[in-house]
Amino acid sequence: MILINDITLGQYYSCDSFVHQLDPRTKLYSIIMLMTGLLVSNKPLMICCFLLILLFIIVLSRIPVNLIFKNLRPFIWLFVLTMIIHLFWTSGEMITKIPVLGLSITLEGLSLGLKYSFRLALLIILAALLTLSTSPIELTDALEKILKPLKRLRVPTHEIVMMLTLSLRFIPTLIEEAQKIKNAQISRGASFEGNVIDRIKSTIPLILPLFISAFRRADDLALAMDSRCYDGGDGRTSYKQLKYRFTDYSVIVICLLLMSVSIIVNYSSV
């Protein structure tokens, strides 16, 4: 539960910064291009370059560093699993051998494990930066504008975007609700301490009340939308009109160049 509370995905940090002032479509395009460039990067030098770029973006966003990096705590198990898989199942120059398990730790496995874990951490931070610097309403408007051409194919883009945004918006609410249920269970004598198996068993009494609370909130939201005569996205307008500026075009071009350089460097060395 402590690790779940560290997730800031879906939360918005209000601030007057360069990153916050960008068009949400620019941020979406830029994040996708940066993630693509990072995923195809195999050279440690390129990954370090993306780290420097990410740190520069964090400085421009003026978001507290601890708020961004605490998103990594819930994924520690994923980093450990990535390291273990590459350490023991990658062939190469052996560093040491574990006689009990009959497994060998290789230099190549250590290198790959560190590289993939570090790259995964950067991807998580990029996703956190997007949600922390963009409000749910802005994300909804941006996604709807981007997916607008699909309306010609009779794809309900507005409804899809609305569901995605509401799901993202309710992540912090459900985390807070889970903490309240946990505190209520503790006051009744429940224990959430012990080994991993005991902690997994102790979370079972939290699941049912959390599901009931989630369905109740969904029902209240549906009634609220119905009482306001919500009937879909046809004919609806936005209070804030999205408009590209020179800085938006500049950021998109820079991110496109970074992605292109990453792809060229990767495939030119193959």
Q: Are residues 160 and 33 in the same domain?
A: no
Mean pLDDT (whole number) for 21-29: 94
Give how many domains the chain has, as a whole number. 2
Q: Are residues 130 and 258 in the same domain?
A: yes
Q: Are residues 264 and 217 in the same domain?
A: no
Dump pLDDT digits (tens) for 182-206: 888 888 777 777 676 777 777 777 8
pLDDT of residue 230: 77
Say how far apart CA 41 and CA 37 lie, in whole Å: 6
Q: Are residues 200 and 263 in the same domain?
A: no
Is 245 in a helix, a strand, or coil?
coil
| Percent of the chain's residues with pLDDT above 90 | 26
Of 68-82, 95-109, 128-142, minimum mean pLDDT range = 95-109
pLDDT band at residue 67 under the 50/70/90 scheme: confident
Could you tell me which of 65, 106, 66 has the C-alpha nearest to residue 86? Answer: 106
Angle at CA of residue 21, ends 138 and 235, nearest 5°: 30
Dump pLDDT digits (tens) for 28-37: 999 999 999 9
Q: Are 5 and 223 in contact (CB under 8 A)?
A: no
Say how far apart CA 38 and CA 258 lie, in whole Å: 9
Q: Are residues 103 and 149 in the same domain?
A: no
Q: Are residues 110 and 159 in the same domain?
A: no
- The more confidently predicted of residues 116 and 104 is 116
Q: Are 26 and 244 in contact (CB under 8 A)?
A: yes
Largest CA distance in the chain: 69
- The more confidently predicted of residues 239 and 167 is 167
Q: Are residues 90 and 18 in the same domain?
A: yes
Q: Are residues 145 and 121 in the same domain?
A: no
* Start-end of H helices in 10-106: 18-21, 24-40, 44-61, 65-69, 76-89
Say how far apart CA 259 and CA 41 lie, in whole Å: 9
Q: Are residues 129 and 187 in the same domain?
A: no
Of 6-15, 71-80, 85-94, 220-229, minimum mean pLDDT range = 6-15
Q: Is 99 exposed, middle or buried (0-12, 13-18, 19+ CB in 10 A)?
A: exposed
Q: Are 90 and 112 in contact (CB under 8 A)?
A: yes
What is the span of the domain harbouring residue 165?
136-239
